[in-house]
Amino acid sequence: MPLDGSVTEKNQRLSYLLDVYKLYQGHINTMFNYFLLTSGLLANAYIQVFQKQAVLSVCVAAFGALMALMSLFIHMRSRELLERIENGLEVEARNLFSNDQGFLIGRAKHTHTGFAATNTSFVLCMAL
């Protein structure tokens, strides 16, 4: 373990990074849950409106597509913040575990494909 800084300071940095990581990870999960909820409500609204007024259903579909794009942008920004926090955690893990056995060192990086695919399919469905 390097000798720069006290043990208390290192523990505080690690604790801070872990707390912020938990906050943003919870934020991503909450935003995805809200996305699923509003997607279901919009799909129901689209079906109900399409049966009565086809012109108004275009507005509902456009709103759904806009909501899906905004959700995608929020998710991508949250992932950027998490990646920065993970980089800080990786540095701290290298300081704590000098023999390459940290909790983030051997883990593969997250990709945006899962949420992006769900989001894109929703945008396409609402646009059709």
Average of per-residue pLDDT across 24-47: 86
Tens digit of each residue's pLDDT (9 = 90 or more) over 73-94: 888 888 888 888 888 877 777 7
Average of per-residue pLDDT across 94-107: 61
Tens digit of each residue's pLDDT (9 = 90 or more) over 108-120: 555 555 666 666 6
**Of 72, 37, 46, 73, the residue nearest 127 (C-alpha):** 46
| pLDDT for the residue 36 | 86
% of the chain at pLDDT higher than 70: 70
- Of how many residues is the chain composed? 128
Sorted by sequence, the CB contacts under 8 Å of residue 20 that are 6+ apart come out as 85
pLDDT band at 56 (very low <50, low <70, confident <90, very high): confident
Distance CA 93, CA 87 (A): 10
